[in-house]
Amino acid sequence: MAEKPHSAGRRRSQEDRGLLTEDHSEIKLVPAADRDWWNRLSEPARARFAEKRRKKWTDEETEHLILADPDRDDYFGLAAALGRSPGAVRTRRSQMIHLLRDEYGYVSKAKAYLDDPRTHHRFADIGQVYLTLERLGLFALPVHEQFGRARHLKQPSGSWRGDNSEAVLRDRRAREDAVRAQLAALKRSRTEEDAR
């Protein structure tokens, strides 16, 4: 049985496998327009955030949200009017709905905040919605009217939860934290090497 000839005519040695041959041709400059295009590929996603993002809600804003008509208003329009993100408006509206329907212990959470704000500070938003509902007299309405008002505004679908801007920010912060941690580890290793 005859041995098959190799296509290159010689068998590559074990050390040469996987290595590229050196290119001794002259370096070609890439035009600036092409470099700019490649540089833009690594830009992170851009998101627009509401002007009052992470700012404390006023009682007037909360009242505006509570009095919104579910048959006429939607989260995007109300969010634009309030300077908030649609997801933040939906979250606040959900708190109103849970308070009016007395679901998930929201009434007891609001009362716990009102009794001791320092201990139960994480229920501050629920407490503010509760006080506004009480001031507007919605708890004095018959239960069937409370349930009639306890509806979500118009939204793209039943499972919609917001415009995802918080997820974009969370991912961006996680990436920044990872880079900071990596830089700190590199600095520590350098100082350890220098100390040796």
pLDDT tens digit string along 135-147? Answer: 999 999 999 999 9
The ranges of the chain with pLDDT < 70 are: 1-18, 38, 42-47, 159-168
Among the listed residues 47, 66, 40, 30, the one whose alpha carbon sits nearest the alpha carbon of residue 169: 47
Question: pTM of the entire structure?
Answer: 0.61
Alpha helix stretches (DSSP H) within the chain: 32-40, 59-66, 75-82, 86-101, 106-115, 124-136, 143-149, 165-195
Give residue 163's pLDDT.
62
pLDDT at 42: 67
**Rounded Cα gap, residues 155 and 2, in angstroms:** 75
Quick one: pLDDT at residue 180?
Answer: 87
pLDDT at 36: 75
Number of Cβ atoms within 10 Å of the Cβ of 80: 13
| Farthest-apart Cα atoms in the chain, separation | 100
